Structure 1
Amino acid sequence: MNVRDLETIGFRTLSIFVTVCQTLNLTQSAELLALPKSTVSKEVSRLEEHLNSRLLERSTRKVSLTEAGKLVYERAFQLVEEFRSLRQDVQSLETQVQGLLKLTAPPVLGEYLAGTLLADFMQQWPKITVALELSYSFDDLFAQGIDLGFRIGQIADDRLVARQIGSSSRILVASPEYLAQHPPVKEPQDLAEHNCLRFQYNPTDTDWVLTCGEHTCSVPVRGNFYCSNIEALKNAALRGLGITQLPVSSAREELENGSLVAVLDGLCVPPMPIYLVYRSGVNKPRKLQALLDFIDQWVAEGKFSFSQ
């Protein structure tokens, strides 16, 4: 290792580079950082020279990341965020947890969390600010700067720490009007004769898997409506378009008032795991650690009842 390899890269340089990566615009980055555009450009060039690699592709119209740039951005973002959290933790002197927590969750789960777990957490830590993004997409926690995500389904990103905190069960429902106008559904195979409203469009996935106790069956279904939004599927079912799968919590009110009826009562879709996920790393910001500890306690006390 030569002397040059031991040279350090300043956090100022990394912070400027991270901002440029997030905006992909040198002028906008300069405005956000209150720096001359020439300074921003020089800092990026200095980082490229130090790493001996082109990190950005620049043109008169746009800025884009190279493959090396994407790798450096991911690592630089973590370093800058950890430094900011360290400074905030030191300044707080262990007296209070504070700062902004950026979270993401699927809409239905997020609505439940906002009125339960997160509300309790923010009452305990009133100096915490929560920004909750509701989305069915599996947001990139690195690119979006998200501290923690709640996700339903298996986690494929091995860069993330994933901890299961519960499960989400779905039941089959339809409106009384739809059921009155179509053949009765007495057993799973009868679903093949009905319009089944699907969560996502996947032409190779034509079966619904149902469980009753320890017994599982797979039923081929068809349908003319697909939507990756639970509320939209529920509205379609309420209008008599067909049979759909809904989380128990999402359909509870409609089942109680009779606007939706359970189909094949006693059968359900196999539960899907609910995970919390966050970026791996030895040192976590105190605000994130406080939330993780709070969730652990909440789950241990049996308060997490999303699937009930």
Structure 2
Amino acid sequence: MKIDHLESFYHVVQQGGFSAAAEYLGVSKGLVSRHVRSLETTLNAKLLHRTTRVVNLTEAGQHLYQHAIQIFSLAKEAEQVVQDLTQEASGILRFTAPITLGERVLGDLLPPFWEQCPQVKVETNFTSKAFKIVDGDQDIALRAYDTLPENVVAKSVGQLRNTVVASPDYVQRMGAPHSPIELHQHPCILFKHVERGSHWLFESADTKEIVSVNGPLSVSQYSTARHMALTGFGIANLPYYQVEQDIQQGRLEALLTDTRTYSHDLYILHASHLYLPKKLRLFKELLSEWFTQNRRYLMED
């Protein structure tokens, strides 16, 4: 079996077709097709069901593809090991995180990162969308989860600290709740598609309670909830990193400060590697260290 034939087959499956594989490899579609036919002849097995629009794996093709994944993964790992030993880390590092948290972290991370990896370009994708890290679209993620995805390496950072807030104007008009149960008397800004969107958990020295809150507005983004709280619409329960400056500058007031509330467990995630590339290893270390130095964004132990 020729490795370049196997590589063409692997990328036909990865890219979803012969034309896309040829474009990815920088060769002609005819060459890719000849490689796959030659591979099928060598193995005496049909590997792909071909139609005008779709390429599907046969049973034999599925088994070969699983082995090809391991082979090219090992090849990439071997290349990375040698590069890390013989030259400066280079290439691209793709980092995804929630928008405000990613922006808060990035400015502190990049100077020490580039001091040690000056040849690495960093691409950010700050969004509420949680990418599948194992698909290779992103190299490292900072994400809050109730249930971790499968097939990733996850380092726990801690529990994201939340803060219940309202604008000074709202507090002047409607008053402030003195206990979590009094939230029933206030319009709260809810989160749709989130388990705790309308059930807020509160902890104090000796009690823990879940309060069901109500309000006419449900949102999908923390930034929307923050904006509506700033306008005096109602009470929001937001990660502290979202509203830290608003509280410090008097645009929002922190409520129920004798209790603690949180949203999710926060993790640093990346795909499993036999050998963790230097650029990924360093970025992960700096992320973890950042939260060690900024514990105010996390629940106290």
TM-score by length of 2: 0.81
Provide the rounded CA distance (Å) in 2 between the counterparts of 1:205 and 1:68: 47
Q: Secondary structure at the match of 1:178?
A: helix
2:72 to 65, 77, 80: 80
Return closer, same or farther for 1:70/1:222 CA change in 2, 3 Å cut-off: farther
Return closer, same or farther for 1:252/1:147 CA change in 2, 3 Å cut-off: same
Provide the rounded CA distance (Å) in 2 between the counterparts of 1:148 and 1:75: 25
Q: How many residues are treated as equivalent by the alignment?
A: 297
Correspondence 1:286 to 2:300: no
The alpha carbon displacement at 1:47 in A equals 6.2
Tell whether the 8 Å contact from 2:167 to 2:229 is kept in structure 1 after alignment.
Answer: yes
Aligned to 1:232: 224
Q: Structure 2 regions of 5+ residues with no counterpart? A: none
Matches within 5 A, 1:44-83: 44=36, 50=43, 58-63=50-55, 76-77=68-69, 79-83=71-75
Return closer, same or farther for 1:26/1:203 CA change in 2, 3 Å cut-off: same
The alpha carbon displacement at 1:32 in A equals 2.8
Provide the rounded CA distance (Å) in 2 between the counterparts of 1:278 and 1:170: 25
Deviations 1:267-286 (A, max 9, x none): 23136332112222432233
Aligned to 2:165: 173
Aligned to 1:4: none
Matches within 5 A, 1:1-308: 10=3, 12-44=4-36, 50=43, 58-63=50-55, 76-77=68-69, 79-91=71-83, 93-182=85-174, 184-201=176-193, 206-270=198-262, 272-295=264-287, 298=289, 302-305=292-295, 307=297
Tell whether the 8 Å contact from 1:172 to 1:268 is kept in structure 2 after alignment.
Answer: no
Tell whether the 8 Å contact from 1:86 to 1:285 is kept in structure 2 after alignment.
Answer: no
Tell whether the 8 Å contact from 1:201 to 1:226 is kept in structure 2 after alignment.
Answer: no
Return closer, same or farther for 1:195/1:9 CA change in 2, 3 Å cut-off: farther
Deviations 1:238-276 (A, max 9, x none): 122221111112101111222211122222313633211
Q: Secondary structure at the match of 1:218?
A: strand
TM-score by length of 1: 0.79
What RMSD over aligned residues (CA atoms) do the two structures have, in Å?
3.5
Q: Secondary structure at the match of 1:132?
A: strand
Tell whether the 8 Å contact from 1:171 to 1:267 is kept in structure 2 after alignment.
Answer: no
Tell whether the 8 Å contact from 2:134 to 2:270 is kept in structure 1 after alignment.
Answer: no
Q: Structure 1 regions of 5+ residues with no counterpart? A: 1-7
Code of the residue aligned with 1:38 in structure 2: it is G
